[in-house]
Structure 1
Amino acid sequence: MTALEATMSEAPEASIIWTDPITGRQGFLVIDRLVRGIASGGLRMREGCCYEEVRGLAANMSVKEVLHYDPSNLYIPMGGAKGGIDCDPHSSEARGILSRFLSFIWPYVANNWAAGDDLGTTAELIEEILGELGIDGCIAPVLRVIDDPIAARKRFTEAFSANFRGIGLAELVGGYGVAETTLAVLDRDALPRSSVTAAIQGFGSMGGATARFLREAGVRIVAISDLHGTVANPRGLAVEDMLRNRLESGIIDRGRLQPDDVLLDGEACLSYDADVLVPAAISYAIDENNESHIKAKYIVEAANLPVTAAAEEKLQKRGTVTVPDVVANSGTNAWWWWVLFGDVTPDAESSFGKIRTSLHTLVTETLDLAEVTGISPRQAANQLAAVRRESLAHRLELL
């Protein structure tokens, strides 16, 4: 079974395969499902991106959205969608391709798809291009279903201008959510945080923030990788120093490491001897070719679909607990909408508090169900999503 087959169920509500008339590059939009005419999900750009990848990620988004459904919240979940473009985001052609793609799917981004940033794109660039196309930002479709859109946009603007210790709050919420997911797993198994080690693949905004908040909680970070390889130290890495000296695109400054830090190849991070492994870089990083090398007891998926379904199945048989991306990295998506709908105020204290409480509850529910039924945590998350989707459908019928 592939990762795609594990996440897809019904046919998507809409699929577009677009070919750029100038470069021949392809772009893809998949709307897995609409709720009140709206779907949420990011737009990625990477060399080799394909329809099947985008289709699986869109199905994932439908699950991720509804998992945070709480009748007491103002936020009513949307459907899931995803966009992708087969292009190196660092190419000189990238911006033009992105602009032409968004122009081609204009009706969807204006009315149906709340398109956030993802791998290879930034929120700033997407907002800039949408503005050039006459669309009032990526949240334009959502504002149609909010009672006070002016107040909602004000909260959203304030949240994306907010800082925590001099760092943009929006850059931190994703990694904070992954860290809290990890801590929820450790607390559930009654593991003292100071006795736990973690390896983190990827040192961008997600991986970096995860490392920061895990270290602050007492977890020893023993390996971190970037595009050029792995930096490891069984005594523990100086995470704050590494973040302070981090170069562009999440690159570790190897000239400013501890004397006993060791430089290894990139794959070494995945197989490093750590209790927790956080793949926070690319999809399908762990597959049938390397899953046997994994030593971690817990895998917390910060990236989207970083473990293939076949590898996940083998890992589960070996006793590895894999917390799926639809749970582990859902904090960013949920936070956007909690802010917009008014379930949190646009500041760190309110935002972190809501993320922490919601994810600790969701992690416990997911792992408890998996343990009782003998299914994988991903299957358990899908079951929880199905139940919440029925509850949401009933509520919408009453509106």
Structure 2
Amino acid sequence: MSTAPLLSTTWTDHVTGSRGHLVVDRLVRGVASGGLRMRAGCTAEEVAGLARGMTMKEALHYDPSGRYVPLGGAKGGIDCDPRSPEAYGVLVRYLRAMRPYIERFWTTGEDLGLTQDLVDRAAAEAGLVSSIQAVYPLLDDETEARRRLADAFAVKVDGIGLDELVGGCGVAEAALAALDRVGRPYAGARVSVQGFGTMGGATARFLDRAGLTVVAVADVRGTIVNPAGLDVEALLASRDAHGTVDRAVLRPGDREEGRDAWLTADVDVLVPAAVSYAIDTAGQERIRARWIVEAANMPVLPEAEERLAARGVVVLPDVVVNSGTNAWWWWTLFGDIGADAEEAFGRTRSAMRALVGRMLDRAEADGTTPRAAAHALAEERLAEIGERHGWY
């Protein structure tokens, strides 16, 4: 797969001077899929890397027997602090500027710093029918498909929306598949999670309910630690819109440590679920976990990953681990599954189990890392998609 994207554009907000980026890495049937993130310091290079990752995430879920045909990969990013009073206005103006792309070939949704509700509200204000309207011409029955997706977004499980849970279900299942592969019992396995927003929070819930012990959770204020295990449900219930935990709910055994304490926790599984580039070469030396499960996009720098592999630390890559949310959107919209939580979780678990298994088998056979194996599998899928559906 070429490293040069199909399209890359940069926008400058005429009000604040904030910059935004859109990178379309590849089109399939004329459409690309990828979320929109907002964070201070977001760069064009970062967005390009994320867009390439989306191409692979889509391809890895290709099932010739399914109604959903994977789309191409794209990504949007805005260099702005999402907590800024100006952030919403910047978001609306970005979407208004990108409206021609969103209407024709870029389907987008929530990513780091944004919620789907906020994206939907801003998209409507920007004059868009939907943030995913470019895919509508590919649907057999647009009205029924939109109703099915809206119904799915209305489903809540124990107080949390299904759309917020499916990604974490996929991340957790990837971790569980890795544990099962080496016969590691869930009971007694310890977990540290960086980021307690949509993805990190849901991952913590599923791992906790599977019987693992979540001993550390980091948010923007620091890391909450309890070697005996945190009350994950209480922490989830106390979060604000940005995933910050209300410290008033902490129990006597819980303690607060620094923002980097999640990295050095004595755990089996480390889940970076917040920003990109969270683990560098210096940080990797302090990691004690056996598995790093990339719930965030691009959290481990390549050189750090090389050193981790040399130490026997297995990194399960983002292109596989956090692909569940994207796949769920399209399975639901195209009609491979209905607006039902158990059906969504069941499809996500089975798909992730199969994909992680193929990736680890390939890594073992080729003598490579799981990431290299995932990329090789994606290349094979992309070639097949190109032959069946064309290259644009």
For the superposition of Structure 1 and Structure 2, which TM-score range results when normalised by the shorter chain?
over 0.9
CA distance in 1, matches of 2:167, 2:90: 27
**Residue 297 in structure 1 maps to residue 290 in structure 2:** yes
Q: State the AA in 1 paired with 2:273.
A: A
CA distance in 1, matches of 2:90, 2:256: 37
1:37 to 23, 26, 30: 30
Equivalent position of 1:79 in the other structure: 72
CA distance in 1, matches of 2:121, 2:277: 30
Q: State the AA in 1 paired with 2:260.
A: E
CA distance in 1, matches of 2:317, 2:209: 23
| Aligned pairs (5 A) from 1:265-284 | 265-284=258-277
| Aligned pairs (5 A) from 1:111-150 | 111-150=104-143
Per-residue deviation, residues 317-356 of structure 1 (Å, max 9, x unmatched): 1111000011111000000000000111111011000000
CA distance in 1, matches of 2:24, 2:289: 35
Equivalent position of 1:180 in the other structure: 173
- List structure 1 segments (4+ residues) > 6 angstroms apart after TM superposition: none
CA distance in 2, matches of 1:19, 1:147: 37
| Aligned pairs (5 A) from 1:1-399 | 9-396=2-389
Relative to structure 1, the CA distance from residue 246 to residue 86 in structure 2 (aligned partners, 3 Å threshold; closer, same or farther) is closer
Moved more, 85-94 or 216-225: 85-94
- How far apart are residue 248 of structure 1 and its match? 4.3
SS, match of residue 145 in structure 2: helix
SS, match of residue 92 in structure 2: helix
CA distance in 2, matches of 1:304, 1:72: 29
SS, match of residue 36 in structure 2: strand
CA distance in 1, matches of 2:244, 2:126: 33
- How far apart are residue 375 of structure 1 and its match? 1.1
SS, match of residue 38 in structure 2: strand
Percent identical across equivalent pairs? 53
Q: State the AA in 2 paired with 1:317.
A: A
CA distance in 1, matches of 2:249, 2:80: 33
CA distance in 2, matches of 1:76, 1:248: 33
SS, match of residue 259 in structure 2: coil
Q: State the AA in 1 paired with 2:255.
A: V
In angstroms, what is the RMSD of aligned CA positions?
1.3
Q: State the AA in 1 paired with 2:271.
A: V
Moved more, 237-246 or 176-185: 237-246
- How far apart are residue 135 of structure 1 and its match? 2.2
Preserved contact between residue 93 and residue 126 of structure 2 (Cα < 8 Å): no
Per-residue deviation, residues 232-291 of structure 1 (Å, max 9, x unmatched): 122111212222333442222323222222221111101111000000111110011211
CA distance in 1, matches of 2:98, 2:308: 40
Preserved contact between residue 24 and residue 51 of structure 2 (Cα < 8 Å): yes
- How far apart are residue 46 of structure 1 and its match? 0.9
Equivalent position of 1:5 in the other structure: none
Q: State the AA in 2 paired with 1:39.
A: A
Q: State the AA in 2 paired with 1:206.
A: M
Q: List alignment gaps of at least 5 residues for structure 2.
A: none
CA distance in 1, matches of 2:73, 2:166: 20
Equivalent position of 1:4 in the other structure: none
Relative to structure 1, the CA distance from residue 115 to residue 268 in structure 2 (aligned partners, 3 Å threshold; closer, same or farther) is same
Equivalent position of 1:3 in the other structure: none
Q: List alignment gaps of at least 5 residues for structure 1.
A: 1-7
SS, match of residue 248 in structure 2: coil
Preserved contact between residue 113 and residue 242 of structure 2 (Cα < 8 Å): no
Preserved contact between residue 28 and residue 389 of structure 2 (Cα < 8 Å): no
| Equivalences, count | 390
Q: State the AA in 1 paired with 2:310.
A: K
SS, match of residue 65 in structure 2: coil
SS, match of residue 385 in structure 1: helix
Q: State the AA in 2 paired with 1:352.
A: F
CA distance in 2, matches of 1:214, 1:39: 32
Q: State the AA in 1 paired with 2:13.
A: D
